[in-house]
Chain A
Amino acid sequence: MEIHPSLNKYMDCYYDFLGQWDSPSRCGLKIIKRKDGKTLAIATEIYRLNPGTPVTEWCAPLATQIMKEQNCTPGRFIFVEHTPDMGSKLDFYDETFDLVSFQVADGKLTNPQWKRLSTAEVDDLMAG
């Protein structure tokens, strides 16, 4: 599987999912099983390489799907959204990380809330 060279540190593979209105969609994904038993998922928005729904717009269903595939529970699941540096002059295409917290309803993650993280904070999360 092709991996964008600039994204290697925070993604191990592309992840295909059905987004809004069943649109075939794709993001980058890195899964880390931490020593404390928690699972960290980093979902990367890959812009032009994603034919469908952006990660932010499908955050809760996407996180739910990944959590279930990892046989994880909401209390032991950490979800981080990543937008890579696109090398644009415009700073809204700089690299960002957001820790996403959810409410839980019928086993599904809902109502996402985002909290901006520094790169160092993400690296700490990855180190577990």
Chain B
Amino acid sequence: MKFKLIYPRWEKLEGQTIFNLPPHGPVVMAADLPDDVEVDFTDENVEALVIDDSPDFVGISMMLTTQVRRGWEIAGQYRKLGKKVIFGGISTMLHAEETMQYADSVFLGEVEGRLSQVFKDFHDNNLKKVYNFMNKPPEMNLIGPARRDILKKDLYYHKGFRMVDLFHASRGCIYDCYPCAVRYLGGRGFRPRPIDRVVEELAQMDNNRLFIVDNSLALDTQWEKELFKAMIPLKKKWVSHTIEDKDEVLDLAAQAGAWYVYQAVFDTSDYIRNRIKQYHDYGIAVEGTILLGLDNQTEDDIKRLIDFLLEIDLDLAEFTVLAPFPHTKAYSDLIKQGRIFDTDWNHYNAGKVVYHPKHMSAERLAELYQYAWDTFYKDEPQTMKMFNLINRVVSREIADGTFTPRRRDIADLSFGKKVPKVA
């Protein structure tokens, strides 16, 4: 039985350095496929999709809101050929009702222990319109090692350098952050994976550099410390979202290979200044994530925030404008107030303004967004700052014997496409 699994392409942010990371949702999903299913995976961001093949069954995995329209388009093409199409993934859940119009079936929720029934139903010509497992999380010990063997790994190299692999150690979140939908997607509880299962998966991964994609690692101190202790012997180097600010936790994180963290910078307080310094004191670099366009920001606030970023010695910064994704409080509030003027999901890329900001026009916010990028990277371009970060991890890898040299056989390729060769 041939199952074609597709990860639709999306338009990248204008002017930003393009990095295509190997997707996480499809490899986690593939781990639950029945043994008799032969999976053929296409990530349309790094390779062309061939529609005139003949799979038995088609799956479309979508993470971003900016993927859904392309996903629906692909489904239409396969359904015209008489193929059944099932959708799953984060943005399928966010856009479930709309997606149902383009699908034979949608899968909502987490897959572990559930795909055997879906494929049996397909085989019996009894596919359900909806497999609804929202708010019914599986046992965490059912989450096995992701099927990274389905990825065409050479497509995730940039000029011979391998990109990080994505990995997760927990699901769900206890917080209700304004722009975030994790509460809806993963539930309001924090659900850590058993440490031994996490280590089992990490030990199988042939990539030394990881992005731990958990919403936050700072939700259970004891688990966090045990996780880092267990990771130390593996010598991985990793990027993650926030780590707890306790010294003993940061010390263990550094020993476990913390390379850099994404830290939300939402004001110009000493709390933020000290938080960045604390990471740096433990040798952990910081990429600030800065959300622009919130109702508490005036033009002056945004300019002050950008000045502040230049003072606090961030290693990288990523600017986004508020994108009111469905099932977030941001979306609810803006809908209530009638402030969303653009409902084209392709524009919900966190780089375009789709709503009326409170203290300025949409056009002015778009200008300030560009001003933020230009100002922060004026003296040292983004590529140079990133190069510095890579140098830091390379030094650590050489020191602990985990360094893998750049692949010269694909040094003229960037995510599968020809580029000038690096010396």
Please report A residues at the B interface, Cβ cutoff 8 Å.
20-24, 47-48, 50-54, 56-57, 89-93, 98, 114, 116
7 interchain residue pairs of minimum CB distance: A56-B332, A114-B336, A21-B134, A23-B135, A47-B176, A21-B132, A91-B296
Check A92–B336 contact: CB distance below 8 A.
Answer: no
Please measure, in the bound complex, the distance between the C-alpha atom of A22 and the C-alpha atom of B96, giving whole angstroms.
14
Contact bitstring B245-289, A, C-beta under 8 A = 1, else 0 = 000000000000000000000110000000000000000000000
Q: Is B371 an interface residue (CB 8 A)?
A: no
7 contacts between A and B (CB under 8 A): A21-B134, A23-B134, A51-B187, A54-B329, A56-B332, A56-B335, A114-B336
Q: Which residues of B contact A92 (CB under 8 A)?
A: 178, 294-296, 329-330, 333
Minimum CB distance partner of B134 in chain A: A21
Please report B residues at the A interface, Cβ cutoff 8 Å.
96, 108, 130, 132, 134-135, 174-176, 178, 184, 187-188, 266-267, 294-296, 327, 329-330, 332-333, 335-337
Check A51–B188 contact: CB distance below 8 A.
Answer: yes
Check A48–B295 contact: CB distance below 8 A.
Answer: no
Distance (whole angstroms) from the CB of A112 to the closest CB of chain B: 9
Distance (whole angstroms) from the CB of A76 to the closest CB of chain B: 24
Please measure, in the bound complex, the distance between the C-alpha atom of A54 and the C-alpha atom of B175, giving whole angstroms.
14
Distance (whole angstroms) from the CB of A66 to the closest CB of chain B: 19
Q: Which residues of B contact A116 (CB under 8 A)?
A: 337
Contact for B135 among A48, A52, A93, A114, CB less than 8 A: A52
Q: Which residues of A contact B184 (CB under 8 A)?
A: 53
Q: Which residues of A contact B266 (CB under 8 A)?
A: 90
Check B296–A90 contact: CB distance below 8 A.
Answer: yes
Distance (whole angstroms) from the CB of A36 to the closest CB of chain B: 27
Minimum CB distance partner of B179 in chain A: A92
Minimum CB distance partner of A92 in chain B: B178
Distance (whole angstroms) from the CB of A78 to the closest CB of chain B: 17
Name, among A51, A53, A92, the residue most crowded by chain B CB atoms within 10 Å (CB to CB).
A92
Please measure, in the bound complex, the distance between the C-alpha atom of A90 and the C-alpha atom of B178, giving whole angstroms.
9
Please measure, in the bound complex, the distance between the C-alpha atom of A75 and the C-alpha atom of B259, giving whole angstroms.
61
Distance (whole angstroms) from the CB of A110 to the closest CB of chain B: 15
Minimum CB distance partner of A50 in chain B: B188
Please measure, in the bound complex, the distance between the C-alpha atom of A48 and the C-alpha atom of B294, giving whole angstroms.
22
Check A22–B132 contact: CB distance below 8 A.
Answer: yes
Minimum CB distance partner of A51 in chain B: B188
Q: Which residues of B contact A56 (CB under 8 A)?
A: 332, 335-336
Please measure, in the bound complex, the distance between the C-alpha atom of A20 and the C-alpha atom of B199, giving whole angstroms.
36
Distance (whole angstroms) from the CB of B8 to the closest CB of chain A: 23
Q: Which residues of B contact A22 (CB under 8 A)?
A: 132, 134
Contact A21-B187, Cβ < 8 Å, known A48-B176, A92-B295, A114-B336: no
Minimum CB distance partner of B329 in chain A: A92
Check A48–B174 contact: CB distance below 8 A.
Answer: yes
Q: Which residues of A contact B336 (CB under 8 A)?
A: 56, 98, 114
Name, among A93, A98, A114, the residue most crowded by chain B CB atoms within 10 Å (CB to CB).
A114
Please measure, in the bound complex, the distance between the C-alpha atom of A23 and the C-alpha atom of B183, giving whole angstroms.
12
Check A57–B332 contact: CB distance below 8 A.
Answer: yes
Please measure, in the bound complex, the distance between the C-alpha atom of A116 and the C-alpha atom of B178, giving whole angstroms.
19
Add 16 more A-B contacts to A51-B187, A90-B296 (CB < 8 A): A21-B96, A21-B135, A22-B134, A48-B174, A51-B135, A54-B332, A56-B332, A56-B336, A57-B327, A57-B332, A89-B267, A90-B294, A92-B296, A92-B330, A92-B333, A93-B178
Check B188–A48 contact: CB distance below 8 A.
Answer: yes
Minimum CB distance partner of A115 in chain B: B336
Q: Which residues of A contact B332 (CB under 8 A)?
A: 54, 56-57
Distance (whole angstroms) from the CB of B99 to the closest CB of chain A: 13
Q: Which residues of A contact B132 (CB under 8 A)?
A: 21-22
Contact A114-B337, Cβ < 8 Å, known A48-B174, A51-B135: yes
Distance (whole angstroms) from the CB of B12 to the closest CB of chain A: 29
Distance (whole angstroms) from the CB of A17 to the closest CB of chain B: 13
Minimum CB distance partner of A22 in chain B: B132
Please measure, in the bound complex, the distance between the C-alpha atom of A56 and the C-alpha atom of B266, giving whole angstroms.
26
Q: Which residues of A contact B134 (CB under 8 A)?
A: 20-23
Minimum CB distance partner of B269 in chain A: A89
Minimum CB distance partner of B97 in chain A: A20
Q: Which residues of A contact B130 (CB under 8 A)?
A: 21
Please measure, in the bound complex, the distance between the C-alpha atom of A54 and the C-alpha atom of B183, giving whole angstroms.
10
Distance (whole angstroms) from the CB of B324 to the closest CB of chain A: 12
Please measure, in the bound complex, the distance between the C-alpha atom of A7 and the C-alpha atom of B336, giving whole angstroms.
22
Contact A91-B135, Cβ < 8 Å, known A51-B188, A54-B332: no
